[in-house]
Amino acid sequence: MLPPIDEAVLKNNPDFDRLYKTVTGSLLNPDGSSRSNDPTAKKRDAVREELRAHRLKATKQHLLRRAIVSAASPPKQQQQQSQPQQPHHRQTRSMQQPRTSASTSTSASTSALPPEILDLLLLLSPLLSNANTMPASSLTLLLSRPPFSDLPTHFPALASAISSTLTRQASALARVLNPHTNPSYIHRSIPTLAASTASLKTSVSCATLSLSRSRQRATHDLTTHLSRHAQALAALIRILESKHGPSARSAELRAADAGLETQTWALAAEALLWDVRRTVYPPEARRALTNYRRHLGDARMRAADAIRVREAELEDYGVAVVEGHEHEGDEAKERTMREMARVWREMEARLDEVRGDLDRLG
């Protein structure tokens, strides 16, 4: 989510206001991601979809392992986890009766599983967790020995037990999302769990953004109200000062007198400054400074003439200069001159090497 900006900041900084509107309006989505007009958006979408597929696969594996562990847990723990609290209202007690019966039937079905099925359930979760890290020979040896060698035979019973566990867990989630639904019809909400969760997340995000904007507007309104309150207090203070006329006028007259005295001293200091300048810069010094200024003007003219001469020489080398900035001129000529300069530098470097070699040999 993009951070909200105070309206006073946007109003006091017009350039930043335009930049913020451009970024939030055409470049970024409300969640901070780039819009579809970005050239790399397709690549990011592909990576995001691949990541989503991996997350979905990992989630499925995690849910399967948890379901296997829950299906293999003792019936007492399942009965304690699924047993609801005793309600006080009669209507609530009547709605909770199907739930209690369902949990009792589930625990009874789990306790009715044969020992070989329970052994497989207890061993499947560690096997699925460590199958990726186990050597192929060890995995083959485990699958070829009991109880994993009987896995195809007991697979329907295993699937039934795991399916009932997943249904019970999904029913618990559906009961959380639909607290006012009759427990006997709660299984109908299981297929819509993903859509309901996504819509809840979206609504929470929108509500958070709306709350942040509301807080921002409330803060802006509060600062505006406080500034107006301060202005009202200042006006009230001025009115109260005007009521106390003699003391206020006396202070104002004293301030005006001090201001006039300050202006008098400023004029005296300025007159003294001119006297000091007249003493420091006699007529001879002023004439010398005038001649020097004329000399500087002549030097500026000579510098301008020299610049024009250098610009003409640069044009001969293929570089056009307009108002002190280099522009493209004759590119072929410029390239030729640069190549000649490079060759000249290389020849000078080689001559220096030869002179050094001659010096060492001499």
| pLDDT tens, N- to C-terminus, the chain (362 residues) | 566 677 777 888 888 888 888 888 777 776 666 766 666 767 877 888 889 888 888 888 787 777 777 777 754 444 444 444 444 444 433 334 434 434 444 444 445 667 777 767 777 777 777 667 777 777 777 777 777 767 777 777 777 777 777 788 788 888 887 777 777 777 777 787 778 888 888 888 888 888 888 888 888 888 889 989 999 999 888 777 776 667 767 777 889 999 999 999 999 999 999 888 888 888 888 888 899 999 999 999 999 999 888 888 877 776 666 655 555 556 777 788 788 888 999 999 999 999 988 888 87
HEC readout, 91-131: HHHHHHHHHHHHHHHHHHHHHCCCHHHHHHHHHHHHHHHHC
DSSP string, 17-45: HHHHHHIIIIIB-TTSPBPTTSTTHHHHH
Residue 129, pLDDT score: 72
Residue 112, pLDDT score: 63
Q: Return d(Cα 215, Cα 224) in angstroms, integer.
A: 14
Q: Return d(Cα 165, Cα 227) in angstroms, integer.
A: 63
Residue 104, pLDDT score: 41
Residue 347, pLDDT score: 92
Give Dmax over CA atoms of the chain in angstroms.
Answer: 124
Q: Return d(Cα 282, Cα 7) in angstroms, integer.
A: 62
Dihedral in degrees, nearest 10, Cα atoms 257, 261, 267, 268: 160
Dihedral in degrees, nearest 10, Cα atoms 235, 240, 245, 250: -70
Per the document, the length of the chain is 362
Q: Return d(Cα 130, Cα 127) in angstroms, integer.
A: 5
Domain ranges of the chain: 39-84+99-177, 193-243, 261-316, 317-362
Residue 299, pLDDT score: 93
Closest-CA residue to 52 (of 173, 264, 194): 194
Residue 261, pLDDT score: 93
C-beta of residue 68 within 8 angstroms of C-beta of residue 162: yes
Q: Return d(Cα 302, Cα 306) in angstroms, integer.
A: 6
Predicted TM-score (pTM) of the model is 0.39
Residue 77, pLDDT score: 41
Residue 301, pLDDT score: 94
C-beta of residue 71 within 8 angstroms of C-beta of residue 164: yes
